[in-house]
Amino acid sequence: MDEVSYRNSADRTDQSVRQADIPHQARIYNYLLGGNHHFAGDRNAAEEALAVFPDLRIAARENRAFLRRATRFAALAGVRQFLEIGAGIPTAPALHEIAQQIAPDSRVLYVDNEPMFFVQVRDLLVGTEQGKVSCLEADLRDPERILSSSVLRETLDLTRPVALSLLAVLHFLEDDDDPYGIVERLLTALPSGSYLTISHPTGDFEPTTEALGEKFRSRGISARQRDRTQVAGFFRGLEFVDPGLVPIHTWRPDDPILADVTEAAVSIYGAVACKP
């Protein structure tokens, strides 16, 4: 499928049947968040992961909460264009809903390489009259394709600031994929005043998420945890927004942090930074 050609669910049936037993990170995440876009293989993989890391649902929920706060921050800072790569199967509130609640003219492009995302996303793709919302099926490992796509050019004006969100997606890239080069390439295309938001799983806290990573890898899902220095490397040349790179639940929390939401339970770093 290319760019913004949405098809109906029936077009995907054969593929979906084939996918039913093969777990996929997008659907596992959807299951953890209480969504209903997953198959038996996804549920089994998620339950296996929960058996070795029972706090995984807390981590997933905190990641969405970080997305909400970071998006709201960018919209309140005046950004009106959003690019989310590795957007996932839509979870309410989706990024465009958060941005458009603050600024109805916000324009949003979602990118993901999971075809099911495009089956499910159509109903949610209701922008405002002023704020276009589009989707692109593409791989983060091919930034040139994303940047040169017609749907990107029709949705975003790259001469004006963009908030680029790479949330819980960079850990699917191995070092051999050159994740740092990919982020740098994307940022090169964005003007000064743009923002980068990243959330990234880590094994920095005790008890570590090592067993969880192994569990996912045994199911064919790469899950490359990175330590704080490695995650900080994605922000080279940018200016961190206060409080910098921190466990995501401590990034400008709206409410008092609950007792079970600990660094180890969440095990995800996150930050928002501005391109000077």
Return residues touching ligand SAM (CB under 6 A): 25-26, 29, 63-64, 67, 85-88, 112-114, 117, 139-141, 167-169, 172
Pick 108 or 206: Cβ nearer ligand SAM: 108
Query: How near is the Cβ of 26 to ligand SAM at its closest, in Å?
Result: 3
Residue nearest to ligand SAM as judged by C-beta position = 88
Query: How near is the Cβ of 129 to ligand SAM at its closest, in Å?
Result: 26
- For residue 168, which of 10, 257, 23, 56 has the smallest C-alpha distance? 56
Query: How near is the Cβ of 127 to ligand SAM at its closest, in Å?
Result: 19
Q: How far is CA 21 from the centre of its chain?
A: 24
Pick 169 or 186: Cβ nearer ligand SAM: 169
Q: How many residues does the chain have?
A: 276
Pick 67 or 273: Cβ nearer ligand SAM: 67
Extract the tokens encoding 50.
């929960």
Query: How near is the Cβ of 88 to ligand SAM at its closest, in Å?
Result: 3
Whether the CB-CB separation of 12 and 27 falls below 8 Å is answered with no
Query: How near is the Cβ of 87 to ligand SAM at its closest, in Å?
Result: 6
Query: How near is the Cβ of 178 to ligand SAM at its closest, in Å?
Result: 12
Pick 25 or 106: Cβ nearer ligand SAM: 25
Pick 56 or 238: Cβ nearer ligand SAM: 56
Pick 88 or 213: Cβ nearer ligand SAM: 88
Extract the tokens encoding 157.
């004006």
